[in-house]
Structure 1
Amino acid sequence: MTGAHWAETAQDAEFRQEVRTFVEERFPACYRPDPEAENSLEPEDVWGYDWPADRRSPDPERRAGAVAWAAALAEQGWIAPHLPAAYGGAGLSPVQEFVLREEMMRAEVPTVNGIGAMLLAPTLMEFGTEEQRRAHLPGIACGRTAWAQAFSEPDAGSDLAALRTTAVRAPAGPAGPEAYRVTGQKVWTSSAQYADWLFVLVRTEPDAPRHQGITFLLVDAASDGVTIRPIEDMRGATPFAEIHFDDVRVPVTQRVGEENQGWYVAMAALGFERAGIGAPVKFEQVLKRLVSQLRSAEGQGLVRADTAVLRHEIARRYVEVRAHYAVARLTAAGHGAGAVPGYEASVGQLLGAELHQRLAHTGARAFGPYAQLWQRSTAPMAAAFAHMRFDAVAATLLGGTTEIQRRLIATRGLGLPRS
C-alpha cells in the first residue's frame, strides 16, 4: 500500500477525546452487560452485549437501553459514521471512524447495527443506486433496521462461488413489478433471526463460470417464503441461523450492481468486514486482564504452567496483538488515501483468526485444569479462557477460512499465480 500515513494528528487526538466524553456522558446506565451471555462471534461486538438481540429483548430495561444507545449514536451520525449527513451519517474520514470504533471498543460499549453499518452501507455507497441509498441508508444510520449477511450455504461456505440458491427473472404482472424468484438455503447467517433485511448472493446464470452468474440482492426478511431458524452452537448459544427461501419474490430494483456481477460486489463488502479494529482491541484487553490476574496473589496460586515459558508466550501474544493493530490502522489509513480494502484486510483477518486461537490456548495453559471450569462464578477470570477456547474454534472459518485468506494474500498481494 502506498501513500498511507497513519500517525495520529492533533485533530485525531481531539476527536478521540470527544468520543471518550460522549461515551461517558451518554451511554445508558440501564444498558449493562449480561454476565451470563456467550460472546458474539462477530469481531466488532463487545462481551455481554448483542445489540440486534437486545433491541428485541423481552427484558424491557435491556430493550430500552439498546434503543436509547442507538438514538444517542444516531444524533451524532455515529452508527454509520462514514456516510454523508444526507443519509444519516457524520461524514467522518476512515481514520476518524477507526478512532471512533477503537474508543467504543476500549470503553466496552456495543456498536449498533454492525453488519448493516460496516458492511452494507459502504457497499451501497459504492455500488448502489441513489434510490437504494435513500431507501435503506437512513434506516441503518438511525438503528431502525438491522441487517444480516446471507452468503454461506451448506455446500458453499469457504467455497462461496459454489452457491446454489437460484434467482429466476419473472416479468411484471398482476403479482407486482419485475422481480426475481429466489429459491434455496443459506446457513451460518449471523443474527439472521433478529434481522429486518438480508443481503443475499444468488445464482442467476447457472451455465456461467463459477465466479460469474452471481447476483447481489436485498431481501426483506418478512417476505412471503422466507423462513429463518436459529442454530444452536456447542456453547448452547444461537449466534446464527439457517434461512430457507421458497420462491421468494424480490423486486429487480433491489439488485445491487449489475446482474451476474454480484461476486465483485460481495468481495468489496467482505473487504470492509475484514478491515475492522474490534478484534485487536478485544485481544489486547483480555491479554492485559490475564497479566493482571497472574500478578495477583490469587492468580499466582492458580498458575499451573512453567512461569518462564509462560512469560515468553505472553510476550509473543502481546507482539502479535500490536502487529494486528498496526495492520488494522494501516488498512484504515489506506482507505483514507482512497484505496478500497484489499489484500491488507485479508492479512488482518488471518492475523486475527489465528491470534484468537493462540491467545485462547495461552490463557488455558496458564491455568491448567482450572481453565476447564465453565461456570463464570467459580473460575479464574470468570472462565474467560474456557469460553474463549470454544469461541475460537470457529475463528479460522468465519469470514473466510485461513486457506482462502492466504490465497487472497498470495494472488492479490504478492502477485503469485493461482496454481
Structure 2
Amino acid sequence: MDWEETAQEREFRQEVRAFVRDRFPACYRPDPEAEHSLEPEDVWGYDWPADRRSADPERRAAARAWAAALAERGWIAPHLPVAYGGAGLSPMREFILREEMMRAEVPTVNGIGAMLLGPTLVEYGNDEQRAAHLPGIARGETVWAQGFSEPDAGSDLASLRTTAVREPAEASDAADAEVYRVNGQKVWTSSAQHADWLFVLVRTDPRAPKHKGISFLLIDATSPGITIRPLRDMRGADPFAEIHFDDVRVPVANRVGEENRGWYVAMAALGFERAGIGATIKFERVLERLITSLRSAQGQDFRRADTAVLRHEIAQRHIELRVQYAMARLTASRQTAGAVPGYEASVSQLLGAELHQRLARTGAKAFGPYAQLWQRDGAPMDAAFAHMRFDAVAATLLGGTTEIQRSVIATRGLGLPRS
C-alpha cells in the first residue's frame, strides 16, 4: 500500500477544505444539548435527518442548504456514478472527502442511504431501482433507514422472523403487480422515525436453511400497516426506533437481488458500513480536546493526580488511533484496487468499537470523581466523557457484535474452520 498521496489527491484535499470553509452555512451550529450520535460517520451536535425537518425554521433551512451545496458537487454520495447524481470519485478521493469533513466537524448528509444503500444498489440493484432511488439519495431528498435487527435476532441476524409472503396480482386489476405481504418487527433502527424509505431483510422461505431463505426489500416508510415508535436510551435520547409491519404490501419489484438470496446483498451492504473513516477522526478530535483540556488551568484543577499513569493511557489511545487509521486507509486502498471490503472492514469495526469504550474510560479516569458530573455547565470538558461513557456502552453491539466481527476475521481473514 502506498501511503503517499499523489499531487492530484493533495490538490483535492485542499479543494475540500476550501469548499467546507466557503459553503457550510454559518447559522448551522451544533446543538450544545444534543447527545452524541451513535452513527460513526456523524459528528457531535448534528442530526441531519432530524435537522432537515426541524421545527426551528433556521435550522431546517440550514440543513437543507448544506445538502444542496454538497449535492452540487455530487458529494452527498460521492462514490455514485455522475449519471445518478454522484461524483464518481475513486475510493481514495472519497476517503479524503470524508476525512476532511470529519476534521472540520460538519455533518454528513443522508448517511445510511448514501453510504450503505447507494453502493449496494449499484452492485445488486436493477436499472429501474437505480433510476428510482439513487438520484433522491444523491440530492439528499430521500432519507433511508436500515431494518435488519429484530428483538430475538440481534447478533444472529439470520434468525430473523419478519416474513414476506408472495401474492399474485389482483385478478380484478391487471395493472396491479405482484406483492409481498410483510409482517413482523424490527428494532434498534437508527433514525427510522425520520426516514422516508426502509431497506429491510425479510424471510421469504421459512423452510430453507436460515441464511438462504432471506430477501432484501425496499419499503416506503409511509406504507399502510407500518408503525414506527422511537426508543429512548439511557441518556434520554431517542436515536433509534422499533418498526412494526402489519400486512404491509410491498411490490415484488422492490426486491433487490434474487428471492431468498438477500443475505448476500445484506453482507455486502454491511461491508460498506464497516469501511468508513468517520469514527477514527471523531475519536482523534476527542483525544486532542482531552489533551488540550488537561493542559489548561481548569483542566489541571480537575485532573487526577497520578499524571504518569494518565500519560501512558493517553499514549496508548493515540497508538490505537493510528492503527485504526491505517486499517481504514488500507480498506480504501483495496477498494481502489477493485477489491470488495472483506474481513478488513470487520477489523476496522472491531478496533473502532473497542477503542470507543477504552477512550471513554480513559477520559473519565482523567478527571476522577469529576467525571461523574452529568450536567454540562461547570463540568470538565462540558461533561463530554461522562456522556461518552454512556454512548460507548452500545459500541460493541452496533453494526455487528464484537463476537460476530471476530468470527468474520477468523473464518474469512485467517481461514480458520467455522467449528
What is the TM-score with the length of structure 1 in the denominator?
0.98
| Partner AA of 2:328 in structure 1 | A
Other-structure match for 1:113:
110
Q: Say yes or no: does 1:152 pair with 2:145.
A: no
Q: 2:165 is matched with which residue? A: 168
Q: How do 1:10-409 residues align onto structure 2 when only pairs under 5 Å count?
A: 10-173=7-170, 174=172, 176-409=176-409
- Whole-angstrom distance in 2 between the partners of 1:162 and 1:273: 21
> 1:44 Cα deviation (Å)?
0.2
Q: Which amino acid aligns with 1:51?
A: W
Q: Structure 2: any 5+ residue segments left out of the alignment?
A: none
Give the C-alpha shift of residue 302 in structure 1.
1.1
Q: Give the Cα separation in 2 of the matches to 1:418 and 1:305.
A: 48
Bigger drift between 172-181 and 122-131 goes to 172-181
SS in 2 for 1:376: coil
- Please tell me the residue identity of whatever aligns with 1:80: A
Report the 3-state secondary structure (helix = DSSP H, G, I; strand = E; otherwise coil) of the residue aligned with 2:209. Answer: coil
Q: Report the alpha carbon displacement of residue 306 of structure 1 after superposing the two structures with TM.
A: 1.3
Q: Is the 8 A contact 1:277 1:325 kept in 2?
A: yes
Q: Secondary structure at the match of 2:377?
A: helix
In structure 1, give the amino acid aligned to 2:133: H
The structural deviation recorded for 1:300 is 1.3
Q: Which amino acid aligns with 2:125?
A: G
Q: Supply the AA of the counterpart residue of 1:199.
A: F
Q: Is the contact between residue 81 and residue 91 of structure 1 (CA under 8 Å) also seen in structure 2? A: yes
> How far apart in 2 are the matches of 1:169 and 1:259?
10
Q: State the Cα distance separating 1:7 from its structure 2 match.
A: 2.6
Structure 1 stretches of at least 4 aligned residues deviating more than 6 Å after TM superposition: none
SS at structure 1 position matched to 2:169: coil
The whole-number CA distance in structure 2 between the counterparts of 1:64 and 1:347 is: 39
Q: Deviations over 1:162-199 (max 9, x none)?
A: 00000000101147310111000000000000000000
- Secondary structure (helix, strand or coil) at the match of 1:228 reads strand
Superposition deviation, residue 371 in structure 1: 0.6
- CA-CA distance at 1:10 after TM superposition: 1.0
What residue identity is the alignment partner of 1:167?
A: A
Does the CA-based 8 Å contact 1:40-1:50 persist in structure 2?
A: yes
- Structure 2 Cα separation of the partners of residues 275 and 203 of structure 1: 27
Amino acid at match of 1:130: D
Cα distance in 1 for partners of 2:192, 2:31 equals 21
Name the amino acid aligned to 2:167: A
Find the residue that maps to 2:367 and give its secondary structure.
Answer: helix
SS in structure 2 at match of 1:185? strand
Separation of aligned partners in 2, 1:5 and 1:179: 49
Amino acid at match of 1:238: D
Q: Deviations over 1:244-289 (max 9, x none)?
A: 0001011011000000000000000000000000000010000011
Q: Distance in 2 between matches of 1:305 and 1:286?
A: 21
**In structure 2, how many angstroms separate the alpha carbons of the residues matched to 1:28 and 1:151?**
34
Distance in structure 2 (CA, Å) of the matches to 1:336 and 1:111: 22
Q: Distance in 2 between matches of 1:61 and 1:39?
A: 21
The 2-side partners of 1:298 and 1:228 are apart by 45
**How many angstroms does 1:376 deviate by?**
1.2
Whole-angstrom CA distance in 1 between matches of 2:287 and 2:343: 27
Opposite residue 402 of structure 1, the aligned amino acid is: T
The CA distance in 2 between the partners of 1:335 and 1:379, in whole Å, is 43
Code of the aligned partner of 2:277: I
How far apart in 2 are the matches of 1:6 and 1:57? 42
Percent identity (aligned): 80
1:208-240 superposed Cα distances (whole Å, 9 cap, x missing partner): 111110000000000010110000000000000
Check the 8 A contact 1:167/1:204 in 2, yes or no. yes
Corresponding residue pairs, total: 416
Deviations along 1:286-338, one digit per CA (max 9) or x if unpaired, are 00110111111221121125110110010000000010011001101101110
Any idea what the Cα deviations from partners look like across 1:14-45, whole Å, max 9, x if unmatched? Answer: 00000000000000111110000011100000
Contact 1:6 1:330 in 2 (8 A): no
Per-residue deviation, residues 370-393 of structure 1 (Å, max 9, x unmatched): 111111112111111000000000
User: What letter corresponds to residue 54 of structure 1 in structure 2?
Assistant: D
Q: CA deviation at 1:6?
A: 4.2
In the alignment, the residues of structure 1 paired with residue 190 and residue 161 of structure 2 have an alpha-carbon distance, to the nearest angstrom, of 20
Name the SS of the counterpart of 1:32 in structure 2: coil
Q: Distance in 2 between matches of 1:82 and 1:400?
A: 24
Separation (CA, whole Å) in 2 of partners of 1:190 and 1:141: 20
Structure 1: 5+ residue runs without aligned partners?
A: none
- What CA deviation, in whole Å up to 9, does each residue of 1:83-121 have, x standing for no partner? 111000000000000000000000000000000000000
**In structure 2, the residue corresponding to 1:215 is in which secondary structure?**
strand
Does 49-58 or 172-181 show the bigger shift?
172-181
Alpha-carbon distance in structure 2 between the residues aligned to 1:401 and 1:199: 20
Amino acid at match of 1:319: I
